Chain A
Amino acid sequence: KNEVEQSPQNLTAQEGEFITINCSYSVGISALHWLQQHPGGGIVSLFMLSSGKKKHGRLIATINIQEKHSSLHITASHPRDSAVYICAVRGRWGGADGLTFGKGTHLIIQP
């Protein structure tokens, strides 16, 4: 079973700062997801990665398959970015496999 570790668990930063959240996993995967969970519980999928790098607005996600490591970056952070960010991996069976989740990083951006 895959072990997914995220760091840091909690992060408080000032508006405008560059944010990095890290994720490592123990077993080979078919894809890695970065998710955003809001206080009500709803989950939004930010990225799905199987290699390389993806960018969407101020968010950038990278993955190194050999090192079993991924990072999520937020540039020019804003208070509305405050949320829990979760790394999740999907096993080698792809869409037939459920996700294994990290514990999440609770991000607070102060104005």
Chain B
Amino acid sequence: GAVVSQHPSRVICKSGTSVKIECRSLDFQATTMFWYRQFPKQSLMLMATSNEGSKATYEQGVEKDKFLINHASLTLSTLTVTSAHPEDSSFYICSATDRKTLNTEAFFGQGTRLTVV
């Protein structure tokens, strides 16, 4: 089946630094990649939708200058948390849809647990 690889799986960084998270579709071309965030004991929430070659669409309340998304190719999207603060500590997970079948299974990365100290 389709595989989405996300890394790193865990990262601890100092407040004020930036962290980059990568999401790759390994055996299919992803028209669209989604970035989600999950705070402890909360449901997953969509942060932004990333389309290859165009600017990401951010959900209300998500700062685009803080969470930089780059979808440079059909197999790679990156999320950079800039000037991270402790309140950005969360579980970040990406999901991708297959270019060939738009309404398709949800393929998820393994997730990244970010801790900002």
If the complex has contacts A41-B111, A43-B111, are A100 and B46 also in contact, measured as CB distance less than 8 A? yes
Name the segment of B17-25, B69-77, B78-86, B94-102 touching the other chain.
B94-102
Which residues of A (41-79) have their CB < 8 Å from a CB of B?
41-45, 48, 50
A13 to B110, CA, bound (A): 28
A19 to B45, CA, bound (A): 26
- B12 sits at the interface (CB 8 A): no
- B89 sits at the interface (CB 8 A): no
- Chain A interface (Cβ < 8 Å from any Cβ of B): 30-31, 33, 35, 40-45, 48, 50, 86, 88, 90, 94-104
- Chain B interface (Cβ < 8 Å from any Cβ of A): 31-32, 34, 36, 38, 42-46, 49, 59, 91, 93, 95, 97-98, 101-108, 110-111, 113
